[in-house]
Amino acid sequence: MTDESLREHPVQGAEVFRGNFLRVRRDTVQLPDGTRTEREYVLHPGAVVIIPVLGEAGDAAGCRVILERQYRYPMRQVIVEFPAGKLDPGEQALACAQRELREETGYRAAEWARAGQMHPLVAYSDEAIDIWLARGLEAGPRQLDHGEFLQVIETSCAQLMAWCRNGTVTDAKTLIGAFWLQQWFGGQWQPQWQPAGAQAP
Amino acid sequence: MTDESLREHPVQGAEVFRGNFLRVRRDTVQLPDGTRTEREYVLHPGAVVIIPVLGEAGDAAGCRVILERQYRYPMRQVIVEFPAGKLDPGEQALACAQRELREETGYRAAEWARAGQMHPLVAYSDEAIDIWLARGLEAGPRQLDHGEFLQVIETSCAQLMAWCRNGTVTDAKTLIGAFWLQQWFGGQWQPQWQPAGAQAP
């Protein structure tokens, strides 16, 4: 079955909600059988998630990572998650990853490796999240935004995996970060490290 | 740092957008330092994702899975993903998983195991997705909703992992499904199988 036989074609559309944070668009689309329906989805500028790895460890035993604990109001609970943030207008993903890591945790990383991209909610958001590993970490002062409250924690990768299994970690980008760590440690994936000063791809 | 020192308390709020599909709520919240801000987020009834495993395979080598190819309009592309769907009002997660698997792929599964829960977008959606493995699959007729177009495909778990690494799979719930398969095959996690007829927890 070709992509064309699944494709939906836009007919018309408009932004139907612009909040202080969220924007929603509604498009009329033509389905593969010629009938029409509507799609509503959140417009998002894109984001990054950072998997900050301490030490040189490329093995599960010695590995430690930086995580955050942050109250996520929609969930009404504190969520354990990897550092992440939205792209500023015109910002490259790697530059955003470096900025967010520094602002939220205080860490700067000497080396970066792109793990890929994820789409958190394909049904109703156009958000794409670029996934970056960071190592060669050097601690420094945090620069939290006004009104931003979060706790930076350090834990072993073994503990992270246990938290994924026992339901302590439920955040999608963090579960996917654990997946990449596991691919790395299992030898199925080799990060292509680049120095922090290199241009983002 | 306690959860209380991170918590945000609701002050007032209302639904600010009700589309044909999406609902958005805006709440004023009090931050830990006593100042106030606003949170906007999508209201969602909850969902399930199903990881349908063919054969008895508890090993990576023999494992095969059922996936779908579906055009996701917000991404403007065909997305490879595990079967998934929204909870109907009052519906239990396992019942929903069984219904969605049957409707979208035609398969019925003899045994089910819950892998946990994921939150796809903690910043601006309250959606939670229950994750279920299914095995003992028996093929049957699909019952797609009107206007639903998707292709059911079968592939090896090794191919799925390769697709995750090379960027063919970017859907969050599908990457997380691959993570659970890897935990299972690696012996770090043992699914607790239950017969299809058992009550959902």
Q: Hey, how many other C-beta atoms are within 10 angstroms of the C-beta on A154?
A: 13
Test A120 with B118 for CB contact under 8 angstroms: no
Q: What is the spatial distance between Cα A178 and Cα A182, in angstroms, rounded to a whole number? A: 6
Q: What is the spatial distance between Cα A164 and Cα A158, in angstroms, rounded to a whole number? A: 10
Q: What is the spatial distance between Cα B102 and Cα A169, in angstroms, rounded to a whole number? A: 29
Question: What range defines the domain where residue B120 resides?
Answer: 47-186
User: Which residues in chain A have their CB less than 8 angstroms from residue B188's CB?
Assistant: 161, 165
User: Which residues in chain A have their CB less than 8 angstroms from residue B31's CB?
Assistant: 147, 149
- Minimal CA separation from B174 to chain A, in Å: 10
Give pLDDT tens digits for A99-147: 999 999 999 999 999 999 999 999 999 999 999 999 999 999 888 888 8
Q: What is the spatial distance between Cα A115 and Cα A41, in angstroms, rounded to a whole number? A: 26
User: Which residues in chain B have their CB less than 8 angstroms from residue A35's CB?
Assistant: 147
**Do B160 and A188 contact (CB within 8 A), yes or no?**
no
Encoded tokens for A26: 């509604």
pTM: 0.96
- Minimal CA separation from B11 to chain A, in Å: 12
Test B71 with A3 for CB contact under 8 angstroms: yes
Q: Which residue of B has its CA nearest to A9?
A: B73
Q: What is the spatial distance between Cα B179 and Cα B23, in angstroms, rounded to a whole number? A: 31
Q: Do B22 and B96 share a domain, yes or no?
A: no
Q: Do A53 and A13 share a domain, yes or no?
A: no
* CATH code for the domain of B145: 3.90.79.10
| Run of H or E residues at A181 | helix A172-185
pLDDT at A201: 45
Our count of domains for chain B comes to 2
Q: Do A142 and A175 share a domain, yes or no?
A: yes
Q: Which residue of B has its CA nearest to A190?
A: B165
Q: Do B142 and B53 share a domain, yes or no?
A: yes
Q: Do A140 and A87 share a domain, yes or no?
A: yes
**Do B36 and B29 contact (CB within 8 A), yes or no?**
yes
Q: Tokens 């000063």 correspond to what residue?
A: A197
CB-based contacts of A110, cutoff 8 Å, min separation 6: A135, A136, A137, A138, A195, A196
pLDDT at A59: 66
Q: Tokens 């509503």 correspond to what residue?
A: A40
Q: Do A91 and A125 share a domain, yes or no?
A: yes
Q: Is there a domain that residue A197 lies in? A: no
Q: Do B35 and B127 share a domain, yes or no?
A: no
Q: Is there a domain that residue B156 lies in? A: yes
Q: Do A36 and A55 share a domain, yes or no?
A: no
Question: pLDDT: is A144 or B78 the higher one?
Answer: B78
Q: Do A158 and A74 share a domain, yes or no?
A: yes
Q: Do A57 and A109 share a domain, yes or no?
A: yes
Q: Is there a domain that residue B192 lies in? A: no
- Minimal CA separation from B28 to chain A, in Å: 11
